[in-house]
Amino acid sequence: MVAIMNNEFFEKSKKFYEDGDLSNALDYYEKALSNIDISKEKSVYIQFLEMILNYCKENDLVELQAIALRSLGRTHSIFKNYVESLNYHRESLKIQRKLGRKNDVAEGLLYLAEDLEVSGNYEECIKVFKSASEIFRELGKLRICKEIEKEVSRLNEFSKQIVEDEYLMSKFHVDKF
């Protein structure tokens, strides 16, 4: 059932793109992302988003360009291409900040933080989570702030444990490999 829904959203997204309705194309792609079929070749999704991104750049559709970049970041993340994902998320955030879209910036920061965590960059991940929390607090979204606080606490504890483990390994001359 999930694959069918995903395929339906993705097909609708492609149809909206063909009809020139990029906003709905990206909205439906976002819905498809939640259930993306990782058994499919990732290039199908990446090529589709790159077409949208190029169209946005050529036609100076800056807001949609930022959404397309974020979608590219999320897609790369799903396929475990974290370096590409981080780059697309950062590029999207630059645009969102220029546009003053606080909610989009905060959401983009959450996606960036998730990829930073997976890549093992816990210090930067925590900073990014805290930045997102500040923006959500300004927007009055306190429930999301509480969830972020839990994540930051978990990451701080995890980072502390890693430092302790590395200290013990070096103290007793234990190789990591």
Q: What is the mean pLDDT of residues 96-102?
A: 96
Burial of 130: CB neighbours in 10 Å, binned 0-12, 13-18, 19+:
middle
**Ordered structural domains, the chain, with CATH:** 41-171 (1.25.40.10)
Which of 73, 57, 84 has its CA nearest to residue 111?
73
Band (157; pLDDT cuts 50, 70, 90): confident
Residue 64 has pLDDT above 50, yes or no: yes
Band (4; pLDDT cuts 50, 70, 90): very low
User: What dihedral do alpha carbons 103, 106, 109, 114 form, nearest 10°?
Assistant: -100
Q: pLDDT tens digits for 9-45?
A: 999 999 999 999 999 999 999 999 888 877 777 788 9
Residue 175 has pLDDT above 90, yes or no: no
pLDDT for the residue numbered 1: 38
Q: pLDDT tens digits for 129-155?
A: 999 999 999 999 999 999 999 999 998
